Amino acid sequence: MRILITGGAGFIGSRLSKHLLERGSEVLVIDNLNDYYDPAIKENNIKTLSHFDTFKFFKGDIRSVQDMDMIFSTHKIEMVIHLAAQAGVRPSIQDPKLYYDVNVMGTLNILETMRKYGCRKMVFGSSSSVYGNNKTTPFSEKHPVDNPISPYAATKKSGELLCYNYHHLYNFDIFCLRFFSVYGPGQRPEMAIAKFTDAIFNDKDIPMYGDGSSERDYTYVDDIVQGIMASMKKLRGYDIFNLGESSTISLKNLIHLIEKNCGKDAHINKLPMQAGDVSITYADISKAKEKLSYHPTTDIQTGVANYVKWYRETILQINSEINIKIKHVK
């Protein structure tokens, strides 16, 4: 199968690409390699995939009609895994226009290009942020999601609505997957587990917003990839699924867990809760289990241990080599 992955140079996209390539799929990736975080990380992700004969990378923007036309006109795309997005809840409050431009107009451009070239299958990467401060837990796909508390969340809800619209009007098969706090080796450096691990090893302060009682349903990246691949196999009609671990951990307990694995104490900087933050995310995954045979296997204790081990073997090793080179030059 020939698959286009938007945002495929990112954390989830590159992991998914590797799994698909290893299983014989032809994978095309479009990514603009923006500077939301160090573009070198994404460039390295692409480099690790470049040895596959069935892999192609296009540096481009999902908002560009020309970029999308170029890919679809020269390759018969059979399915789109749409993961490209302007990420981050708090930054979306500072620049909501950018988030709407990328996440809403970019999604619309992809759907229109698909319609133009006769591709009618998509898996859309949505977010648990659409639930806002839902008072009923765990969060079910049946719950109303009409009260987003950040522009990012509103754009993800808008993306789901656009997907339904194209299913209704043009008979697209689209599954929207609501990801819950994805983490693991190679994750984005500004995300909590990566940020906290780096801070502990480098004796920096960890910002703790609120009293540490807020809870998150952290989901290991390999479980998310398994859920996406299951969605691809079952893709028919329109539906929405939660992909989470269906287990929560408080912020203060997460910090303690990372401390334990790092073998060092954290320096905590207590700060007030931030606008756009939710008090809890907690996935009801019964629907995904039933309809997709989705079964996450990595609990937070194992996942954090895996991440810290990866950090020691890669990031600390790279930093050590850089410091040795600097000393040698001096």
Segment 102-154, tens digit of pLDDT: 999 999 999 999 999 999 999 999 999 999 998 899 999 999 999 999 999 99
Within-domain flag for 53: yes
CATH number at 38 reads 3.40.50.720
Q: Is residue 162 classed as helix, strand or coil in its secondary structure?
A: helix
- Residue 322 maps to a domain: no
Q: Stretch 25-53: mean pLDDT, rounded?
A: 93
Query: What is the rounded (10 degree) CA torsion for 184, 188, 192, 195?
Result: 110
73 in a structural domain: yes
Other C-beta atoms within 10 Å of 253: how many? 14
Q: How confident is the model at residue 325 (pLDDT cuts 50, 70, 90)?
A: very low
Q: Which residues are catalytic?
A: 152
The answer as to whether 94 is a domain residue is yes
Cα(84)–Cα(82) distance, integer angstroms = 6
Read off the pTM. Answer: 0.93
- Number of structural domains, the chain? 1
Domain membership of residue 292 as a residue range:
2-180+220-245+283-297
Question: What is the tens place of the pLDDT at every residue in 165-177?
Answer: 999 999 999 999 9
> Is 169 inside any structural domain?
yes
Between 22-26, 82-86, 189-193, 269-273, the lowest mean confidence (pLDDT) is in 269-273
Q: What percent of the chain has pLDDT over 70?
A: 96
Strands (E), the chain: 2-6, 26-31, 55-59, 79-82, 121-127, 173-179, 182-183, 205-209, 215-216, 219-220, 238-243, 249-250, 267-271
Number of Cβ within a 10 Å radius of residue 169: 10
Angle (CA) 151-152-155 rounded to 5° is 85
In a domain, 85, yes or no: yes
Distances (CA, A) of 86 to 14, 56, 241, 246, 303: 16, 22, 21, 26, 25
Q: Is 37 helix (H, G, I), strand (E, B) or coil?
A: coil
pLDDT beyond 70 at 294: yes
Q: Picking from 8-12, 41-45, 324-328, which range would have the lowest pLDDT averaged per residue?
A: 324-328
| Beta-sheet pairing, 2-6 with 205-209 | unpaired
Residue 93 maps to a domain: yes
State the chain's mean pLDDT as an integer. 93
Q: What is the pLDDT of residue 328?
A: 46
What pLDDT is stored for residue 306 in this prediction?
97
**97 inside domain:** yes
With a cut of 70, say whether residue 326 has pLDDT above it.
no
